[in-house]
Chain A
């Protein structure tokens, strides 16, 4: 079946602008995660949704970052007043159920955000 999809694949914006990044999880997956991967680094956790609610948003770097998942499927990561330091690849992952020993996160191809 279809995997996790993310749009756009690339986004170039100017400092101070607002951006939205979209994630379509695998059908039937209740858990959804956002990670950020800076150049030369591994992915870093941002936020985790179980259903419609954000169960853990402790990884969001500041209040310019916000994410929603209103119907428990598609999620949007929103970044206000973008800064050059926000440039990174934003990864989305989904899993069927969070917490079980067999639970595995499946990752999308990511959105590469460049802030000029």
Chain B
């Protein structure tokens, strides 16, 4: 069965520091991969997606993620954290044509 594992339910970084949120997937077929962000009392907002066109994917708000097939990973990074990045981040895989399978989420805290 396909699944997504997000290591670290809570991550804290200092403002200006590197953000690294980890996501590993299992899929029997080449997947589509997504990162979503959820701010308090808001819906999920798409940050970026991997659709096999390029392994390094750039998204909104300075985030990017790299697809590494050999490691079955799709980690999310941002060079310099901003206070406004504090939110919950979800990695998702779409192994087929429509159903998303989400990880359990990582709550990012940015320290001043």
Contacts and interface: CB of A to CB of B under 8 A. Distances in A.
B102 A44 contact: yes
A42 B25 CA distance: 14
Main secondary structure of the interface of A (DSSP, over half): loop
Interface of A: 3-4, 31, 33, 35, 40-45, 48, 55-56, 59, 91, 93, 95, 98-99, 101-110
B43 A56 contact: no
B70 interface: no
Interface residues of B, number: 25
Contact of A104 (B9, B46, B90): B46
B56 to A, nearest CB: 17
Contacts of B102: 35, 42-44
A114 B14 CA distance: 36
Interface string B3-27: 0100001000000000000000000
B98 A42 contact: no
